[in-house]
Amino acid sequence: MANKKVEFNKGLKDMNVSDLQARIQEDQLRLKKLEFAHAISPLENPMNIRGLRRDIARLKTELKKKQLGI
């Protein structure tokens, strides 16, 4: 599990600003769909929602770093 997160973070560093913004929008749409589906009938694994929220936060953090030039 931790190895998957490390690979995700390494992949973020290779992305440019426009790619990050596009990925954030895609993931936010996916999150809305998951939350809606969960409201209608419980998901088999509701922890997916938490994981997706955290991935979006990681994407936003990396985007902010690139915008600030850090």
* pLDDT in the model for residue 15: 86
* pLDDT in the model for residue 70: 83
* pLDDT in the model for residue 14: 84
Q: For the domain covering 2-68, report its CATH number.
A: 1.10.287
Could you say which residues of the chain have pLDDT below 50? none
In order, the DSSP letters of 3-65 are HHHHHHHHHHHH--HHHHHHHHHHHHHHHHHHHHHHHHS--S-THHHHHHHHHHHHHHHHHHH
* Structural domain boundaries in the chain: 2-68
* pLDDT in the model for residue 2: 66
* pLDDT in the model for residue 1: 58
